[in-house]
Amino acid sequence: MVEFLPSKQGVAGSNPVSRSNTYRQGNMPRRKMMDLNSIITKYNLSARAEGLSEKTVKHTVNSVRYFDRFLGGIDDVSKVTADDLKRFIVDLRGRRRWAGRSESAGQE
């Protein structure tokens, strides 16, 4: 996965997104605020450079935006926790797959 979004392995442990933007000022660690839109823009560029399909890129961006809506808006990506993601996954598993969509919307 691209360094701008945490990999599956990174969710359970340290967060590569916040870890890579931590710097020291004296003994106090500070994090650079990370805007979701700028991260998505960087992801789009990186994913296209890697040759990922347009459908894969679109699905990933849509999934991140859906997660953003679930959390009520992400002001600073570095503050998103593994528990936030776990709550999102539990919520998704509790939903019917096509709830709120017409039958033809899920068929291609």
pTM of this structure: 0.58
More confident residue, 62 or 13: 62
For residue 6, count other CB atoms closer than 10 A to its CB: 22
Per-residue pLDDT of 27-85, as tens digits, reads 545 556 778 899 999 999 999 999 999 999 999 999 999 999 999 998 888 899 999 99
More confident residue, 33 or 7: 33
pLDDT band at 4 (very low <50, low <70, confident <90, very high): low
pLDDT at 75: 87
Rounded to whole angstroms, the maximal C-alpha distance in the chain is 58
Per-residue pLDDT of 87-100, as tens digits, reads 999 999 998 876 66
Phi, psi of 58 (to 5 degrees): -65, -45
Query: Does residue 24 register a pLDDT over 90?
Result: no
- Average of per-residue pLDDT across 8-13: 45
pLDDT band at 1 (very low <50, low <70, confident <90, very high): very low
Q: What single string gives the DSSP state of each residue in the chain?
A: --TTS--HHHHHS--HHHHHTEEEETTEEEE----HHHHHHHHHHHHHHHT--HHHHHHHHHHHHHHHHHHT--S-GGG--HHHHHHHHHHHHTS-TTTTS-GGGG--
